Amino acid sequence: MLTSTQNRAAAFSSGPVARRAAVRPALGMRARARPTAAVSVRAEISYIMVKPDGVQRGLVGDIISRFERKGYKLTGLKLYQTPREVAEEHYKDLSAKPFYKDLVNYILSGPVVCMVWEGKGVVATARKMIGATNPLASEPGTIRGDFAIEVGRNVIHGSDSPENGEREAGLWFKEGLVAWDQTMTPWLKE
């Protein structure tokens, strides 16, 4: 006879969520444990990074909570000490700017929390949730409006386009993302 703990463990390890969870490459095809008749269209993804100041100030939980409450699905999460080459590649489009070196050094100054969120319109919505690059121009209720004052310490990064979401996820999550199905999905989508 199985104890209630053993029953729960057996149900979890063989349940539909456990069977469907799989690691998928960050770019390209989406891994699925179950076959589908139609071609699966991958949902939009956004790379979100809590910068060193946000990690040091203990804001990670508040930031994750905002995305969870909005209904987006977390498919990648890690605490990461950024290598210089990753920071330089991430900010390569700013390499001609006078603040580039300071920006790279800032990202290297402490751990960051890397996340990939998935869902309909996630890039545009995340940008609204994050607020303006200059926190003083950010509306109250946005992450930067609530938690930041300085442009150089603005707590968070978010992809600015679906294409950059894919590129950044591939850069920061070379090991891939987790494909899984949320049980609340029917309550969020028509």
Q: State the Cα–Cα distance between residues 82 and 110, nearest whole angstrom.
A: 8
Q: Are 24 and 31 in contact (CB under 8 A)?
A: yes
Q: In the sheet where 45-50 sits, what is the strand order? A: 73-80, 112-118, 45-50, 156-158
Instruction: Give pLDDT, residue 186.
Output: 81
At 39-87, the pLDDT tens digits run 445 799 999 999 999 999 999 999 999 999 999 999 999 999 999 999 9
Domain that holds residue 90: 8-188
Whole-structure pTM value: 0.78
Domain at 96, CATH number: 3.30.70.141
Q: Which residues are catalytic?
A: 157
* pLDDT(11) > 50: no
In a domain, 49, yes or no: yes
In a domain, 110, yes or no: yes
Annotated binding-site ranges for ATP: 51, 99, 127, 133, 144, 154
Instruction: Give pLDDT, residue 183.
Output: 87
Annotated binding-site ranges: 51, 99, 127, 133, 144, 154
Instruction: Give pLDDT, residue 72.
Output: 96
